[in-house]
């Protein structure tokens, strides 16, 4: 009898566990799709039928008249925002209520590579952000530019070889090797040789970070469905952690654990470590009088390795993606590409044919093309926040509890005809000074917004524009036989978006006439 009762009881308990939060949005009067046990609304996402970005874009589109949409990611209630005013509140004006991203579910030593600026929350995030911001000043960026020029010249040589053979080129892979080399030089003071050697250990590291294996898929599904049980399982693959820790340890040992005159990212972190504990005002805790308490944090070698990991991963991937997606658009819009050629030629002539920091700043139309490409297909098409406390949205009856994930589907907003006329068309002039001033605020968010906006935005844009100028000054890009007009995100890479099948194009050497 006991066995029979147990046999009957277990399915009931499992069902109750797998549906335990499914009345959340109904009680609050928020429209949502019907959830299913354990997977909620995210079956297609969890089974990798669609990318996570396309999953949320689809939900955004199916509720055009709603201010808020409820979603269940597995068992977790998630709120999707559709109003730019609410985006501004969450990202900027009420940031103190939404400072967490909510990626790092458990503070545990088994996952040290997740202790980086993008994933951590609360006081550790604030202390790291304060210490790392000086690495991205205008003066530092300008000092880095000669490193970009050296890699850009190698990029042109490699591209010329492909053009001379009339080969189809996956420009995403080509440009990932370019950005890997640059990040290695400006971040770590080493020559990664990814442009010359396709099998460079650093290119392999980058490829492993972004190409998800079956074990990674199983790990992510398990952590989503059973976060408490899987709290000791690391998000970052063990081999990626080992390679990163070994790289960082080797560089720091070579420098005797002291900053050098390289002024690169490793130097910044060593300088931060040698200053002693990070100390600052808490964003999480307050004294009895309401003032923030003072918190502190040691900087150890693993914390440094985690920052290096995200600097490397984000630095090479997002920039190479934005470059390749822009070239893709220009290949299918030859008249716009011609305007880019003319601007680049004119600007470079002004600077004696040399690619330099000031020349890049003068390429206004090229920057407009980059912005338009990021509007249509941003590297980060979704932005996460999590409520740090109960919060009532102004002018509504909606109050969400602490620890509810809030989603901004910026790719959907950037392709919404409510904010952009003919959103499917590639029209760089949307971002001309005259038109940009009339653009709806808090809608174009390729780098996020507010205190948690991408810290490396200016470095990424500088690197991206330089790479585009290097290619377009020497070549015309055109569709190849395997080019597809619409870019489709791979379902196997959660963030950032990576195009399924790469970005194949033809490079044709330009014949300039004086």
Give me the long-range contacts of 482-487 (CB less than 8 A, separation at least 24). Answer: 482/168, 483/328, 483/331, 483/332, 485/332, 487/325, 487/328, 487/377
**Residue 186 domain-assigned?**
yes
**Residue 514 domain-assigned?**
no
**Residue 380 domain-assigned?**
yes
The domain total for the chain is 1
Q: What is the pLDDT at residue 489?
A: 82
pLDDT tens for each residue of 152-161? 888 998 888 8
Q: What is the pLDDT at residue 252?
A: 86
Q: What is the pLDDT at residue 228?
A: 64
The Cα 155–Cα 175 span in angstroms is 8
The whole domain housing 363 covers 2-509
**Domain containing residue 323: CATH number:** 1.10.630.10
**Residue 377 domain-assigned?**
yes
pTM listed for this prediction: 0.89
**Residue 333 domain-assigned?**
yes
Residue 425: partners with Cβ closer than 8 Å, 6 or more residues away: none
Residue 417: partners with Cβ closer than 8 Å, 6 or more residues away: 423
**Residue 304 domain-assigned?**
yes
**Residue 367 domain-assigned?**
yes
DSSP-H helix ranges across 294-381: 301-331, 334-350, 357-362, 364-376
Residues of the chain short of pLDDT 70, as ranges, are 1-18, 104-110, 192-235, 494-495, 512-514
CA quadruple 21, 22, 25, 26: dihedral positive or negative?
negative
Which of 368, 409, 473 is closest to 71 using CA atoms?
Answer: 409
Residue 369 marked as a ligand binder? no
Strands 68-73 and 76-81: antiparallel
Q: What is the pLDDT at residue 340?
A: 98
Q: What is the pLDDT at residue 206?
A: 64
**Residue 397 domain-assigned?**
yes
């Amino acid at each position: 009898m006991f066995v029979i009762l147990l046999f009957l009881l277990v399915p009931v308990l499992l069902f109750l566990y797998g549906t335990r939060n499914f009345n959340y949005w109904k009680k609050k009067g928020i429209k949502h799709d019907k959830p299913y046990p354990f997977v909620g609304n995210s079956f297609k996402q969890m089974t990798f039928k669609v990318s996570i970005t396309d999953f949320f874009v689809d939900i955004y589109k199916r509720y055009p008249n709603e201010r808020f949409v409820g979603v269940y990611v597995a068992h977790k209630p998630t709120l999707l925002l559709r109003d730019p005013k609410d985006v501004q509140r969450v990202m900027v004006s009420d940031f103190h209520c939404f400072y967490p991203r909510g990626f790092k579910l458990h503070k545990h030593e088994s996952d040290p590579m997740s202790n980086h600026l993008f994933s951590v929350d609360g006081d550790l995030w604030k202390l790291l952000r304060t210490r790392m911001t000086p690495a991205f000043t205008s003066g530092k960026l300008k000092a880095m530019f000669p490193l970009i020029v050296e890699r850009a010249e190698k990029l042109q040589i490699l591209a010329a070889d492909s053009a001379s053979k009339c080969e189809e080129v996956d420009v995403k892979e080509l440009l990932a090797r370019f950005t890997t080399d640059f990040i290695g030089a400006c971040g770590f003071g080493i020559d990664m040789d990814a442009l010359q050697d396709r099998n460079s250990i650093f290119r392999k590291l980058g490829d492993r970070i972004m190409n998800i294996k079956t074990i990674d898929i199983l790990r992510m599904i398990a952590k989503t469905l059973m976060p408490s049980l899987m709290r000791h399982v690391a998000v970052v693959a063990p081999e990626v952690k080992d390679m990163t820790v070994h790289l960082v340890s080797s560089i720091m040992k070579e420098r005797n654990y002291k900053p050098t005159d390289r002024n690169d990212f490793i130097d910044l972190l060593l300088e931060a470590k040698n200053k002693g504990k990070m100390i600052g005002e808490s964003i999480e805790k307050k004294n009895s009088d309401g003032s923030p308490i003072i918190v502190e944090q040691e900087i150890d070698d693993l914390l440094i390795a985690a920052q290096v990991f995200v600097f490397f991963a984000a630095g090479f991937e997002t920039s190479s993606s934005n470059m390749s997606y822009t070239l893709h658009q220009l290949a299918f819009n030859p008249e716009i590409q011609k305007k880019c050629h003319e601007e680049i030629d004119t600007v470079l002539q002004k600077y004696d044919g040399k690619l330099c920091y000031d020349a890049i700043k003068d390429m206004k139309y090229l920057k407009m093309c980059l912005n338009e490409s990021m509007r249509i297909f941003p590297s980060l098409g979704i932005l996460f926040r999590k409520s740090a406390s109960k919060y009532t949205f102004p002018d509504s009856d909606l109050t969400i509890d602490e620890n509810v994930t809030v989603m901004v589907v910026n790719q959907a907003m950037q392709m919404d005809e409510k904010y952009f006329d003919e959103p499917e068309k590639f029209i760089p002039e949307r971002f001309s000074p005259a038109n940009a001033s009339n653009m709806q605020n808090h809608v174009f968010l390729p780098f996020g917004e507010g205190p948690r906006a991408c810290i490396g935005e200016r470095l990424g844009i500088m690197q991206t524009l330089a790479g585009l100028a290097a290619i377009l000054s020497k070549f015309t890009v055109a569709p190849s036989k395997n080019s597809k007009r619409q870019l489709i995100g791979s379902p196997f890479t959660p963030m950032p978006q990576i195009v399924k099948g790469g970005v194949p194009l033809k490079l044709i050497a330009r014949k300039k006439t004086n």
